Structure 1
Amino acid sequence: MKSLEKKLGYTFQNQALLAEALNHSSYANEHRGSGMCSNERLEFLGDSVLGFVTAEFLFCTNPDLPEGDLTRIRAALVCEQSLYEVAQSIDLGAHLKLGRGEESGGGRTRASILADAMEAVFAAVYLDGGISAASQLIHRVLLKREQEEVEKRRDYKTALQELVQRKPDQALLYRMAGEEGPDHDKTFSAEVLLNEQVVGCGSGHSKKEAEQAAAKAALNALEE
Structure 2
Amino acid sequence: MQRRTFFRYASASAAAATILLTTACDDDDDDDMTPPPVGAVNLGSGDVGVLNYAYALEQLEAAFYTMVVAEAGNALTSDEMNVMMDLKAHEVAHRELFKAALGSNAIPALEVDFSSVNFNDKSSILQTAKTFENLGVAAYNGAGKLLTDTGVGLDYLLLAGKIVSVEARHAAAIDDLIAGNGRFGEEFIDEDGLDRAMMPSAVLAAAAPFITTEIDFSNLPQ
Structure whose alpha-carbon radius of gyration is higher: 1
Relative to the length of structure 1, the TM-score reads: 0.27
Q: Which has the higher strand share?
A: 1
Larger relative contact order (C-alpha < 8 A, sep ≥ 6)? 2
Relative to the length of structure 2, the TM-score reads: 0.27
